[in-house]
Structure 1
Amino acid sequence: MSTPRSAAPAVLAALSNLDDPLRRRLYDYVTESDAPVSREQAAAAVDVGRTLAAYHLDKLADADLVTVSYQRPAGRGGPGAGRPAKLYTRATTEMTVSVPPRDYELLARLLVSSVEQDTSGTVRAAVNEAALDAGKRAVADTGGDLLAALRGCGYLPQVADDGRIDLRNCPFHHVARDHLDVVCGLNLRLVEGAIAGSTQHDAHAELDPRPDRCCVVVHHAASAHAHSPPGTTARP
Structure 2
Amino acid sequence: MSYGALAVQSRRRILDTLRAADGPTGVSELVTVTGLHANTVRFHLEVLVEAGFVSSGPGPRRGRGRPHTVYRSVTPPAPSTGYQFLSQVLAAQLDDRGAGELAEQAGRSWLRGDGRSAAPGADPVGVATARALALFTELGFEPERAADSATVQIDLHACPFLEVAQRHPDVVCAMHRGLLREVVEAAAPGLAAELIPFARPGVCVARLTPTEKGPVRS
TM-score (norm 2): 0.45
Q: Which has the larger radius of gyration?
A: 2
Q: Greater strand share, 1 or 2? A: 2
